[in-house]
Amino acid sequence: MRSFLVSIFFLSGSLVQLSAQSTITAFTHVNVIPMTSETVLKDYTVLVKDGKVYKMGPADALKYSKKVETIDGTGKFLMPGLAEMHAHIPTPIDGNDAEVRNVLFLYLANGVTTIRGMLGDPYHLGLRKEVMAGTVLGPRIFTSSPSINGNSVKTPEEGRQKAAQYKKDGYDFLKIHPGVKRDVFDALATTAQSLKLPFAGHVPVEVGIRHALAFRYASVDHLDGYLEGLVPAETLKANPEGGFFGFNYVDLADDKQLGALVAETKKQGVWVVPTQSLFTRWFSPVDANLLANQREMQYMPSKTLYQWRQSKQSLTGAGFSEAQWKKFIALRQKMLRSMHSAGLDLLLGSDAPQVFNVPGFSLHHEMASLLEAGLTPYTILHSGTANPARYFGQSGQFGTIQPGASADFILLEGNPLEDINNTWKQLGVMLRGKWMSKAFIDAELQKIADKHKS
């Protein structure tokens, strides 16, 4: 039986090629974390054929041809690739798509094999096809429409027109941003529902969390509107300046209302994408220069890092209270624990690339933030694997390791169910049946870093 040869990928031509690709690839003697349940299948062999899981079973019992390429997984752990459910995808600059490709690779380099783009563009519709065709190396893409906000959609009729147009264009869902008036939202949402076009994202102030839940958002991101939902209506009216995601309302919130709000969320089938790392990194007392000097920042353009420093210093400068921030984070963590206890459907997302959230890397920071909030490793991993597939109505097609599922894997040194930080210890990533070794990933990351140094 031959050992697996090092894969050669030609990124410059946008093609992914294997130096010695055989019909079947076998991960042998590996501990499988299937994410179909909270279990570890010890000493298994997983066979991959045509980009999917072909067969799997105990290593000493599964029979297969000796003419396969093998990856020795002895003592290692194989889990499904992760999904970044609040991602942003760049667009080409003056026709140059180099940074787009870099961002897509940064996701892959961290085991992110699926992304949900939250600020769509017509370019992304074509990119989605190219990625799945294999002509561009990147995670599978689900993309929102362009932003629907108070400036882009001002009347109910515009709302109806936009919903119909974006459905026709082929976007996977509508992205809601702040500023949308309630009558405009109602017209937009009613039309979208009639077209079976989901809508997700922010909760505009005029809409409010309870009205948003009644219209069955596909997902509410950032926990947007939940803090305001704990403040009496008359208090909100008397204090219209809520600050960053309700920061100014922390002392006015009645957390006794939280249980009912979470129960209503579950009843309406609304998913939640916390993006907690947005608030533990960008909106936090952590010094901007400290974040800017983290190792992963070498993969971002210097112009971007400068903008991130400016943004963070502006947001958390004069008047920012660390004591208030601690209460803000504590309340958000309480919300997350309540949602977890109620069995609410959660999705893993970090809002990358956002301020000091580098694509791929930031999802690991997000998992750490959720662990700090009191969620279990299995809940966190499930929110980034099996749950996204179920969210998109594609259970069994990706996000789990089982026969017929897409062969999107991360090979790890340790068990992430025991220590979530083991997700950092990657030995390689398989994307739809194509293997990327750690050596290859590190070499490509170095190329990106070197480019940004010049």
Q: pLDDT tens-digit profile of 275-317? A: 999 999 999 999 999 999 999 999 999 999 999 999 999 999 8
pLDDT tens sequence across 219-258 = 999 999 999 999 999 999 999 999 999 999 999 999 999 9
Share of the chain above pLDDT 70, in %: 95
Q: pLDDT over 90 for what percent of the chain?
A: 92
Q: What share of the chain is helix, strand, coil (3-state, %, to 5)?
A: 40, 20, 40
Mean pLDDT of 97-110: 97
Angle at CA of residue 115, ends 186 and 214, nearest 5°: 20
Question: What mean pLDDT comes out for the span 426-430?
Answer: 98
Q: Give the torsion sign (CA, 253, 257, 260, 264).
A: negative
Helix (H, G, I), strand (E, B) or coil at 220: strand
pLDDT exceeds cutoff 50 at 12? no
Looking at residues 358-380, what average pLDDT do you find?
98
Q: What is the pTM of this model?
A: 0.94
Question: Where are the strands (E) in 75-202, listed by range?
Answer: 77-80, 82-87, 112-117, 140-148, 173-176, 199-201
SS3 201: strand
Which 8-state DSSP code applies to residue 396? T
Residue 10 has pLDDT above 50, yes or no: no
Q: What is the pLDDT of residues 104-153, one digit of tens each?
A: 999 999 999 999 999 999 999 999 999 999 999 999 999 999 999 999 99
C-alpha 105: how far from chain center = 14
Euclidean distance between CA atoms 446 and 422, whole angstroms: 22
Could you tell me the pLDDT band of residue 66, with boundaries at 50, 70 and 90? confident
CATH number for the domain running over 2-79+399-453: 2.30.40.10
Q: Where in the chain is the domain with CATH 2.30.40.10?
A: 2-79+399-453
Q: Write the pLDDT tens digit of every residue in 372-398.
A: 999 999 999 999 999 999 999 999 999
Bond into 353 cis (ω within 30) = yes
Given a contact cutoff of 8 angstroms between Cβ atoms, the answer to whether 217 and 200 are in contact is: yes
Distances (CA, A) of 124 to 53, 165, 218: 28, 16, 20
* Angle formed at CA 46 by CA 45 and CA 48, multiple of 5 degrees: 145
pLDDT score for 15: 30
Cα 418 to Cα 86: distance, rounded to the nearest angstrom: 26
Query: What sign for the dihedral angle of Cα 382, 388, 390, 395?
Result: negative
- Spatial contact of 213 and 190, defined as CB atoms under 8 Å apart: no
What per-residue confidence (pLDDT) applies to 319? 83
Dihedrals phi, psi of 425, to nearest 5 degrees: -90, 70
Ranges in the chain annotated CATH 3.20.20.140: 82-391
Average pLDDT over residues 201-219: 98
Residue 19 has a pLDDT of: 36
**Under CATH, what is the fold of the domain 82-391?**
TIM Barrel (3.20.20)
* Cβ-count burial 430-441 (b if 16+ within 10 Å, e if not): bbbbbbbbeebb
Identify the residue with better confidence: 272 or 11: 272
- pLDDT tens digits, one per residue of 167-202: 999 999 999 999 999 999 999 999 999 999 999 999
- Picking from 394, 349, 343, 397, the residue whose alpha carbon sits closest to that of residue 82 is 349
On whether the CB atoms of residues 44 and 58 are closer than 8 A, the answer is yes
- What is the chain's mean pLDDT, rounded? 94
Three-state DSSP class for residue 263:
helix
Residues facing residue 220 across a β-bridge: 201, 272
| Overall average pLDDT of the 193-212 stretch | 98
Coil, strand or helix at 297: helix
SS3 label, residue 31: strand
